[in-house]
Structure 1
Amino acid sequence: MYDYFNGKLVFKAPMHVILDVGGIGYHIHISLTTFSQIKEQENCKLFVSFQVREDAHTLYGFATEAERQLFNHLISVSGIGPNTGRMMLSSITPEEIQSAIVNGQVQVIQKIKGIGPKSAQRVILELQDKLKKEGADALIPLPLAKLSVPEEALTALVMLGFGKPQAEKVLNSLVAVDPNQSVEALIKAALKKL
C-alpha cells in the first residue's frame, strides 16, 4: 500500500520516529540500524512495511530498501512477527543476518534475543534458498570476497539460470586460456559460449 514516506523528523527515538509528511504525523516503528543512519537528519525518506492485524495497523520504517526487503523476508517465516523481525534487525546488521542465513550459521541467528534454536533453524531453512537466489540482485551484497574469480563467475551464471556443470566446464576452458580475466570479462565470455 505504501512504499516510502519522505518528510520532516518531528520526533526521534531508538525504536520509533514521528515523520511529518504534508502536515500529517506518521508514527513509524524503526530498527536500531535505521535509527543509527537517520539520527543526525532533520528530513529523511523511510521505506515502509505496512502491517495489518485485527487490533492494529502498524508502520515499520527502514533507511534502505534492502533492510525493508530483509524484514519482509523475516516476517514471512512462521513464528516471526514484525516485532521479532525488528528485534533481529536491531540486534545485528542486515548484512550479518543475510550472511548467517545464506551460510547456515544457526548460532549467529540464535544469539538474537527471542530467537531459540528451532526458530533460528526455521529462518535458515525457509530463507536460505530464497536469499541465495536473490544474491545477484540483492541490495545487500552477499559476501563474495572469499570466492575466487572463477567461483564468483560460476555463482553468477548459476543465478542467471545456467546449469552448474555446463557453466563450470565453459569457465574452466576460459580460465585455461587466460587465468587473469576479471569476473565481468569471464562472465561475458562464458555467456557467448553457453
Structure 2
Amino acid sequence: MISSVRGEVLSVGLDHAVVEVGGVGLSVQATPATLATLRRGEQAHLHTVLVVREDALTLFGFADAEARDLFGLLQTVSGIGPRLALAALAVLEPDKLRTALVEGNITVLTQVPGIGRKGAERLTLELRDKVAADAAPGPEPDTHQAQGPARADVVADVVQALVGLGFTAKQAEQAVEKVAGHAPDDTSGVLRAALATLGRKS
C-alpha cells in the first residue's frame, strides 16, 4: 500500500495532481479542497490510498491522515466505492461528515450526489459507532471573496468538474451562477465556492 507521497507538483488539474516521486510522475486523484493547497513547482506531501482494480490502479490523495482514514471507512459500507467516497469528502468536510454520521443526519448525507436516503441510512447505521463521538462541524467556507466575475472558460471547467462528481448539469450551472460574482476568479476558487453552496442545500 502506498500510504503517502512526497515530491514536486508537476501539474494540478480539476480532479487530480501529478506529483513527481523518485523521477516518476504519479497521478493522484483528490478533492478540490486538497488540490487547492497544491502549487505547481512546489513540494507536496499527500496521504494516499492505492485502489487496485482489475483494469486500473488509482491513487487517491488527501491533505491529512484523518480524511484518508475516513475515505477508507466509507468504503466499508456496501455500495460505497472510492469515487463515491471521494465525492462525499468533496461535498462535506471531514468534521461535518463525521457529525452527520454520528447524528444520523440523512439530510446532510443525501447532499452527496449518488447517495440516496437508503444509502444514507445504511451509512449511519454501519458507521455511527465507528466515527469520533465528539465530531463537530468545521467553519463554513468563505464564499464571499469578491474578486470579479468568473470567466466563461472557468465556468465551463467548473460545471464539467461538478458533473464529474455526480451533480446534474442544471445543479452545477445554478451553483456556479450563484457564486460567480463572489468567488475568486480562478477555477479552484469557483469550484470550492460552488461545492460549498451545493453542500449547504437541504
Query: Fold-level match, TM-score > 0.5?
Result: yes
| Deviation by residue 1:132-182 (Cα, 9 ceiling, x = unmatched) | 4xx5xxxxx6229xxxxxxxxxxxxxxxxxxxxxxxxxxxxxxxxxxxxxx
Corresponding residue of 2:33: 33
Amino acid paired to 1:24 = V
For residues 68 and 111 of structure 1, the distance between their equivalents in structure 2, rounded to whole angstroms, comes to: 20
Whether 1:93 aligns to 2:93 is: yes
Q: 1:39 to 1:74 in 2, by over 3 A?
A: farther
Alignment-mate amino acid for residue 29 of structure 1: Q
Please report the TM-score for the alignment, with normalisation by the length of structure 1: 0.66
Distance 2:39 2:81 in 1: 25
The answer to whether the Cα contact below 8 Å between 2:17 and 2:29 also exists between their aligned partners in 1 is: yes
Does 2:136 match 1:143? yes
Cα shift at 1:31: 1.1
Distance (whole Å) between structure 1 residues aligned to residue 38 and residue 27 of structure 2 = 15
Structure-1 residue corresponding to 2:125: 125
Task: Judging by fraction of residues, say which structure has more helix.
Answer: 1
Residues 93-121 of structure 1 deviation map (CA, whole Å, 9 limit, x = unaligned): 11111110011101100111111111111
Mapped to 2, the partners of 1:66 and 1:41 lie a distance apart of 26
Residues 35-88 of structure 1: CA distance to partner in whole angstroms, max 9, x if unpaired? 233358721101111111111111000010011011001111110000001111
Asked if the contact 2:96–2:135 (Cα under 8 Å) also holds between the matched residues in 1, the reply is no
Q: 1:83 to 1:104 in 2, by over 3 A?
A: same
Paired residues in the alignment total 137
Unpaired stretches in structure 2, ≥5 consecutive residues: 138-202
What does residue 142 of structure 2 align with?
none
- CA 1:94–1:41: 2 relative to 1, 3 Å: farther
Letter in 2 for 1:4: S
Equivalent pair of 2:10/2:41 in contact (CA under 8 Å): no
How does the TM-score come out when normalised to structure 2? 0.64
Is the CA contact 1:38–1:63 (under 8 Å) kept in the aligned structure 2?
A: no
Q: CA contact under 8 A between 2:46 and 2:64: conserved in structure 1?
A: yes
In structure 1, what is the Cα distance between the partners aligned to 2:97 and 2:73? 11
Separation of aligned partners in 2, 1:45 and 1:73: 22
Q: Is the 8 A contact 2:46 2:61 kept in 1?
A: yes
1:47 maps to amino acid: H
**Structure 2 vs 1, CA of residues 114 and 99 (structure 1 numbering), >3 Å: closer, same or farther?**
same
Amino acid in the other structure paired with 2:126: E
Instruction: State the distance in 1 between where 2:44 and 2:55 align.
Output: 29
